[in-house]
């Protein structure tokens, strides 16, 4: 049986890994479809499981890969027991309990639901972002650029400014407008290095305005961040983002 597969992305913020502006995000948190019952079972199994030979270790490794695939395709309503049942049927040579048409219809329905939810989330994010930036622009010390970026200088630097072709070392703390953190090199205690032109447009513009040693708080409108598509599954479309950026060095 050949089944049509879809890549399904969850539309709400979780957390992202290093260099968020260059690469697709990766999960750092356990997917919410693993309820407390599943979690307790997994923990008890871990305590009882013996992986004392290479065959068992490789088998466990395959399980990790399948788990990563489930996380990558996570959607609200995904059920771990149903996924395990499907794997068991195939592994044991049993006949699937659903037809190819039933599966493909279900995939299409779920994808349609996710697209509708994602579209509604993006609409709300745009409205909230515009209101936030309108109010933020009124604050003392906030400067608005022609492109719509808003920044305030927390610490002034006296060093040189990077050009578009430069590589920089920075510390940053990124949040949504409600304050929820989606990525932070500060929390990881690990500065990030990347090319000035390899990041989102808002970063590319603001980095070239900053002097080495400075620290700014920057509010980036959606069109200068990830636009209407966002960066699934972490950043919804039309999200305005807030960063505290420290330009440590120009490499």
DSSP secondary structure, 88-137, as one string: HHHHTTPPPSS-HHHHHHHHHHHHHHHHHHHHHHHHHHHHHHHHHHHHHT
Domains and CATH numbers, the chain: 25-97 (no CATH), 116-250 (3.10.50.40)
Per-residue confidence (pLDDT) for residue 20, from 0 to 100? 43
Find, among 32, 16, 19, 27, the residue nearest to 72 by Cα: 27
**158 CB-near residues (< 8 Å, 6+ apart):** 211, 212, 213
DSSP secondary structure, 193-251, as one string: EEEGGGS-HHHHHHHTTPPTT-EEEEEE-GGGTTTTT-BTTTB-TT--EEEEEEEEEE-
Each of the 251 residues of the chain gets a pLDDT tens digit; together they read 444 443 343 333 323 233 444 333 322 223 333 344 444 445 455 557 789 899 999 999 999 999 998 888 888 899 999 999 999 999 999 888 999 999 999 999 999 998 899 899 999 999 999 999 999 999 999 999 999 999 999 999 999 999 999 999 999 999 999 999 999 999 999 999 999 999 999 999 999 999 999 999 999 999 999 999 999 878 999 999 999 999 999 99
CA 122 to chain centre: 15
Q: Is the pTM of this model over 0.75?
A: no
Note whether 177 and 149 are within 8 A (CB).
Answer: no
Query: In whole angstroms, what is the distance from residue 173 CA to residue 185 CA?
Result: 6
Per-residue confidence (pLDDT) for residue 95, from 0 to 100? 86
DSSP-assigned letter for residue 20: T
Report the 10 Å Cβ neighbour count for 113: 14
Question: In a 10 Å sphere around its CB, with 0-12 CB exposed, 13-18 middle and 19+ buried, how is residue 243 labelled?
Answer: buried
The SS3 call for residue 143 is strand
């Amino acid at each position: 049986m050949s089944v049509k597969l879809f890549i399904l992305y969850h539309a709400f913020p979780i957390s992202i890994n290093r260099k968020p502006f260059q690469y697709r995000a990766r999960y750092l948190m356990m997917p919410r479809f693993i309820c407390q019952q599943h979690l307790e079972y997994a923990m008890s199994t871990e305590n009882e499981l013996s992986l004392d030979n290479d065959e068992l270790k490789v088998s466990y490794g395959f399980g990790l890969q399948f788990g990563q695939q489930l996380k990558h395709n996570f959607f609200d309503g995904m059920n771990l027991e149903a996924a395990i049942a499907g794997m068991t049927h195939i592994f044991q040579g049993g006949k699937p309990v659903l037809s190819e048409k039933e599966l493909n219809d279900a995939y299409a329905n779920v994808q349609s639901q996710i697209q509708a939810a994602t579209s509604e989330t993006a609409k709300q994010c745009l409205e909230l972002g515009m209101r936030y930036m309108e109010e933020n622009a009124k604050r003392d010390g906030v400067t608005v650029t022609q492109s719509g970026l808003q920044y305030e200088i927390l610490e002034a630097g006296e060093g040189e400014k990077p050009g578009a072709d430069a590589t920089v070392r920075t510390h940053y703390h990124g949040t949504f407008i409600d304050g929820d953190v989606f990525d932070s090199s500060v929390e990881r205690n690990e500065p990030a290095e990347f090319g000035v032109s390899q990041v989102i447009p808002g970063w590319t513009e603001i980095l070239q305005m900053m002097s080495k040693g400075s620290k700014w708080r920057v509010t980036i409108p959606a069109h200068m961040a990830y636009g209407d598509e966002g960066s699934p599954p972490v950043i919804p479309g039309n999200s305005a983002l807030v960063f505290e950026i420290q330009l440590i060095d120009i490499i």
